Amino acid sequence: MARVERKRIDENVLKELVRAQKNEITEHRVYKKLAEIAGGSNEKVLNRISSDELRHYQFWKSMTGREVKPSSLKVWWYVFLAKALGVNFSLKLMERGEDLAAVKYAGLSSNVKEAERIMKDEQKHEKELLEMLEEERLEYASSIVLGLNDALVELTGALAGLTLALQNSRMVAMAGFITGFAASLSMAASEYLSSKEEKGKNPLKSATYTGIAYIITVLLLIS
Q: How many separate domains does the chain show? A: 2
**pTM score, two decimals?**
0.57
27 and 129 housed in the same domain? yes
| Max Cα-Cα span within the chain | 85
pLDDT of residue 111: 64
76 and 168 housed in the same domain? no
pLDDT of residue 11: 75
- CB distance 14 to 64 below 8 Å: yes
Q: Give mean pLDDT in consecutive 10-residue pieces for the chain, a chain of 223 residues.
A: 49 80 90 86 85 88 88 89 75 71 64 72 75 63 72 76 78 83 82 72 77 82 75
pLDDT of residue 112: 67
117 and 203 housed in the same domain? no
CA–CA distance, 36 with 102 (Å, rounded to integer)? 25
Dihedral Cα 92, 48, 59, 126, nearest 10 deg: -30
Contacts of 207 (CB under 8 A, 6+ apart): 143, 188, 189, 191, 192, 195
182 and 112 housed in the same domain? no
- CB distance 101 to 55 below 8 Å: no
pLDDT of residue 167: 76
96 and 191 housed in the same domain? no
Read off the amino acid at residue 123: Q
Residue 71 belongs to what domain range? 2-139
pLDDT of residue 105: 67
